[in-house]
Structure 1
Amino acid sequence: MSNPTSPPLPGQPHVARHGDLLQVEQVSLEALAREHGTPLFVYSKQWMLDALAAYQRGFEGRDALVCYAMKANSSLGILRVFAKAGCGFDIVSGGELARVLAVGAEPSKIIFSGVGKTRGEMRQALAAGIGCFNVESEEELDVLNEVAVAEGQRAKVSIRINPNVDPKTHPYISTGLKGNKFGIAHDRALHAYRHAASLPGLQVVGIDCHIGSQITEASPYLDALERVLDLVEAIEAAGIALHHIDFGGGLGIDYNGDTPPAADALWKQLLARIDARGFGGRKLIIEPGRSMVGNAGVCVTEVLYTKPGEDKNFCIVDAAMNDLPRPAMYQAFHRIVPVSARGQGEAQTYDVVGPVCESGDWIGRDRLLNVRSGDLLAVLSAGAYCMSMASNYNTRNRAAEVLVSGDRATLIRRRETFEDQLRNELAGSD
């Protein structure tokens, strides 16, 4: 980044002001909005590579594979960055498999997770030659075995264990408690492994654990690690070898003063425990998503109207819950800042809301802003779980996406058109 005139924004070191205007790396957000319209998602390639590098530093000298959890952001331009950097991928659907294969991902570095894999998806993944299925129920073991035998193959499997560890995060993104739908209960794990090892279409290769998302403390990881390593000892004592240990992802990012441990620092702690338990030479797999892309992204949106009210002032923008679903789904926080620092009057407190016909369509509550119609705002930390969950609600076109590298900006998704939305629909006949 060229010399900024103010410090980078918190959590987003590649977003800073140059003069009055906000830039991602060396590209003006105002210029990108003029060229591509709004709402517009803009990503810093360097931020993503820096995030990956932190994990790579943590695993230096180890037999480890970083599999990007692509549900966080599955845009082809993002996937290509990670594929070229040597990442594997964590997928949860046949569609995600098709996407990563389209960008040249190595099939042997693909891990297929998810509680509801269909027979068709299993066949698709077997034909592609993926590295491993993370199996999430005992019945899934039987179905995958049937499919693999019918295809004349042996499916490599790792069983996802639910360790009943509280990740201390939002309940909608907690996945490791006994009340969650994910994984096989800790006390059923040995039984499940014995059953898997008896099936002719399966080859047991590992164990998997993923406890949740937006985790900002090390302690839940350390608790889960101990429970998983206890199971590894019990499973291998039963004569079932485990080639790899998969610890999932879930590391949080800074949305609003959050202080998650750095990836390399977290893994220094975890590896010390792994070494102390005698598993330091084991192959390790992790599946980070949000921490690889979350703070790489900014959503640029235009102020349509300001609307004073008796109890609330509203700043109505052209981005909405179909573009930025996290606030409506999780009451999530995103920082919102003006793209231009040129002042036009007194700042007021606004709820920043979109045009969708729902009271849940809000982007930020009680934000102090100095804005008027036509101004641009930047919604920060928008790289994860925004475009990947975007929809056409209210028949709104999905936004364009741009990837920035230094002073170069590349369009990686064209703005959707109404023709795109209607292409596969049939009106029928009277």
Structure 2
Amino acid sequence: MPIDFHALAEKYGTPLYVYDFDQMRENYRRLKEAFAGSKSLIAYAVKANSNLSVISLFGKLGAGADCVSLGEILRARTAGIEPYRIIFSGVGKRDDEIEAALKEGILMINLESEAEMHRVEEVAQRLGQEARISIRVNPNVDPQTHPYISTGLHENKFGVEIDRAKRMYIYAKNSDWLDPVGIHFHIGSQLTELEPIKEAASIVADLVRSLAAIGIEIRFFDVGGGLGVVYRDETPIDVEEYAKVITESIKGLDLTIICEPGRYLTANAGWLLTRVLYEKNNGAKRFVIVDAAMNDLMRPTLYQAYHGVEYLEPDAKERGEATPADLVGPICESGDWLAKERLLPPTRSGDLLAIRSAGAYGFTMASNYNTRGRPAEVACEQGQCRLIRDRENFEDQIRLEKGHLEA
């Protein structure tokens, strides 16, 4: 059923994030079925879209959660995800976060360095509780994606190289407080080429075999996330082929595959609605100034990312010739743009536009820069739409400050 963006904008105001839960559910089903012949866990990457209702949607479908902070772990638990389906990743875990994760009884902690391994061991010993761990292996494979979201090369801060990982597994096996149950790799985000994934999976699977030869039995093969989506003209990876190269890489091994999608599940099931404030033309450049800004959607200025823009007024053809325009917001930064050189007809104040592919890394990266309240969020499913997060107001923003004002 089509979503009535105009009705939602009238009811909830703009800027406004809108999510199609039916599409999210279908994306999950397609990926889960691709791994139907194997033991698998789809652990939703909470960082992509951490709204409690989104996490709950995937949890009810059987998903776990890939978390990179204690806050995300608590969000996953609040949304109903069982601890044994939660993975704690990330390069910089504080002792209090490690302790809380162990007390929650999560499935495993992904280690990113030897230093982190020793911190986890110390915390586990202090608690008198064995820590289930996996190690993030950096296979040094070029993911062929944007350098800011590449994570699998030696120049990136993530993971450890093969030889160091093997030494860490041997250490963990001999520790009274570490239980090495998994292995993990994630070479980058927005991946649209299958070959790097195949190469990385093969390298890491060979490490699993070499570990088994010395008595270290790994149970979970965590392939990370990173499946790319269409923002403009990309050709995404076929999920059946993706699952096939993963399962073939671990042939002969008794492993549960863990996949950590975020963008794949949510990106193209979300829109950011915004209204035109006015137009400005300086003679050389046309600007359409809207009420959404870089604080609402950071990806364009951060990654120079492309998001499709849909002009939603029905009389577009009667407005006159469409000409190139930059879509910009009210923030006092030259980097405050949402789209550049897009063909748009002449616009009027109040016209509604939808910025596409905004379901992932949209609201989660939003901020209060310029003391702007973050947008409301709406979920639509089975023909009904509902508010899943209120719009922030000024009082929300200053709540933690005003109690400290000097008398």
TM-score by length of 2: 0.97
Please tell me whether residue 307 in structure 1 is matched to residue 280 in structure 2. Answer: yes
2:352 to 376, 379, 392: 376
Q: Partner of 1:184: helix, strand, or coil?
A: coil
Q: Contact 1:164/1:186 (CA < 8 Å) preserved in 2?
A: no
* Cα shift at 1:272: 3.0
Identity %: 49
Aligned to 1:293: 266
* Cα shift at 1:412: 0.2
CA distance in 1, matches of 2:222, 2:302: 28
* Cα shift at 1:271: 2.0
* Cα shift at 1:220: 0.9
1:271 to 227, 237, 247: 247
CA distance in 2, matches of 1:404, 1:263: 25
Unaligned runs of 5+ in 1: 2-25
Aligned to 1:317: 290
* Cα shift at 1:229: 1.2
* Cα shift at 1:321: 0.4
Q: Contact 1:40/1:400 (CA < 8 Å) preserved in 2?
A: yes
1:361 to 336, 349, 356: 336
Aligned to 1:202: 178
1:250 to 223, 226, 248: 226
Aligned to 1:422: 398
Runs of 4+ in 1 over 6 A off after TM superposition: none
Please tell me whether residue 228 in structure 1 is matched to residue 204 in structure 2. Answer: yes
Aligned to 1:402: 378
1:218 to 194, 198, 215: 194
CA distance in 2, matches of 1:378, 1:210: 32
1:351 to 312, 326, 347: 326
Q: Partner of 2:276: helix, strand, or coil?
A: strand
1:327 to 300, 315, 323: 300
Q: Contact 1:156/1:205 (CA < 8 Å) preserved in 2?
A: yes
Please tell me whether residue 139 in structure 1 is matched to residue 134 in structure 2. Answer: no
Unaligned runs of 5+ in 2: none
Please tell me whether residue 105 in structure 1 is matched to residue 78 in structure 2. Answer: no
CA distance in 1, matches of 2:39, 2:182: 14
Q: Contact 2:56/2:79 (CA < 8 Å) preserved in 1?
A: yes
- Report the residue type matching 1:288 in the other structure: P
CA distance in 2, matches of 1:81, 1:369: 36
- Report the residue type matching 1:351 in the other structure: D
Aligned to 2:367: 391
* Cα shift at 1:54: 1.4
Please tell me whether residue 66 in structure 1 is matched to residue 39 in structure 2. Answer: no
1:396-415, Cα deviation, whole Å (9 max, x unpaired): 00000000002200100000
Q: Partner of 1:180: helix, strand, or coil?
A: coil
CA distance in 2, matches of 1:27, 1:349: 27
Number of aligned positions between the proteins: 403
* Cα shift at 1:201: 1.0
- Report the residue type matching 1:43 in the other structure: Y
Q: Contact 2:108/2:132 (CA < 8 Å) preserved in 1?
A: yes
Aligned to 1:14: none
Q: Partner of 1:27: helix, strand, or coil?
A: coil
**1:38-187 aligned within 5 A:** 38-187=14-163
- Report the residue type matching 2:275 in the other structure: E
* Cα shift at 1:187: 2.7
- Report the residue type matching 2:329 in the other structure: G
CA distance in 2, matches of 1:364, 1:341: 21
Please tell me whether residue 338 in structure 1 is matched to residue 296 in structure 2. Answer: no
CA distance in 2, matches of 1:190, 1:273: 19
* Cα shift at 1:52: 0.5
* Cα shift at 1:53: 1.0
- Report the residue type matching 1:376 in the other structure: L
Q: Contact 2:38/2:247 (CA < 8 Å) preserved in 1?
A: no
- Report the residue type matching 1:218 in the other structure: L
CA distance in 2, matches of 1:165, 1:109: 28
CA distance in 1, matches of 2:373, 2:240: 39
CA shift in 2, pair 1:63/1:409, >3 Å: same
1:340-368, Cα deviation, whole Å (9 max, x unpaired): 23222221210001110000000001000
* Cα shift at 1:262: 2.5
Q: Contact 2:276/2:289 (CA < 8 Å) preserved in 1?
A: yes
- Report the residue type matching 1:80 in the other structure: S
* Cα shift at 1:211: 0.5
CA distance in 1, matches of 2:168, 2:15: 48
* Cα shift at 1:311: 2.1
CA distance in 2, matches of 1:198, 1:320: 53
CA distance in 2, matches of 1:185, 1:156: 21
Q: Contact 2:205/2:249 (CA < 8 Å) preserved in 1?
A: no
Q: Partner of 1:382: helix, strand, or coil?
A: coil
CA shift in 2, pair 1:269/1:190, >3 Å: closer
Q: Partner of 1:97: helix, strand, or coil?
A: helix
Q: Partner of 2:294: helix, strand, or coil?
A: coil
Q: Partner of 2:297: helix, strand, or coil?
A: coil
- Report the residue type matching 2:268 in the other structure: N
Q: Contact 1:27/1:406 (CA < 8 Å) preserved in 2?
A: no
CA distance in 1, matches of 2:163, 2:284: 53
CA distance in 2, matches of 1:311, 1:191: 61
1:274-331, Cα deviation, whole Å (9 max, x unpaired): 33xx23x421111111101010100000000111122210000110000000011100
